[in-house]
Homo-oligomer: A and B are copies of this chain.
C-alpha cells in the first residue's frame, strides 16, 4: 500500500464533470483529477434497464483522509446517490507519490504577529 487512493465519480454532462474535477483540487482534498467521457452507463431503474451517456472523474487522494473528498463530492454533486468509490494505489513512483502528498497538505499562510 502507498497510503493513496483513486476515487471515481460519474455525472451526466461534460460541464458537470469538469466542475466536479476542479472543486476538490481547489479545496486540496484531492491532488488532481482526470475527467473522461462520454461513457455509456447501463443500470436498472424502476424495473427497466436504462442506458445513459455519462462522464467520469478520477481523483487521487490520501487514504487517511478519504472522508474529506467523499463529503466534498456528495455536497457538490447533483445526483441524490452519486457513484463515489475508491481503490488502493498499491504501488507507485516515489516522486509522483511525494507530489500527491504535497498537493493535499494545506499550506499555512504567513504568520501574522
Name which of A41, A44, A85 has the most chain B CB atoms within 10 A of its CB: A85
A16 lies within 8 A of chain B by Cβ: no
Copies assembled: 3
Expressed in whole angstroms, the Cα–Cα distance for A36 and B54 within the complex equals: 10
Check A40 against B21 for contact (C-beta < 8 Å). Answer: yes
Q: Which residues from B are CB-within-8-Å of A93?
A: 70, 74, 81-85
Check B26 against A33 for contact (C-beta < 8 Å). Answer: no
A18 lies within 8 A of chain B by Cβ: yes
Using C-beta atoms within 8 Å of the partner chain, give the interface range for chain A: 35 or more
Given contacts A33-B43, A87-B90, list 19 more A-B pairs with CB under 8 A. A5-B91, A7-B91, A10-B34, A18-B40, A21-B40, A25-B44, A31-B43, A34-B54, A35-B39, A43-B103, A60-B85, A70-B91, A81-B95, A81-B99, A84-B96, A85-B91, A85-B93, A86-B90, A87-B89
Chain A contact surface mostly = strand
Interface of A toward B, CB cutoff 8 Å: 2, 4-7, 10, 17-18, 21-22, 25-26, 31-37, 39-44, 49, 51, 54, 56, 60, 63, 66, 70, 74, 81-93, 95-97, 99, 103
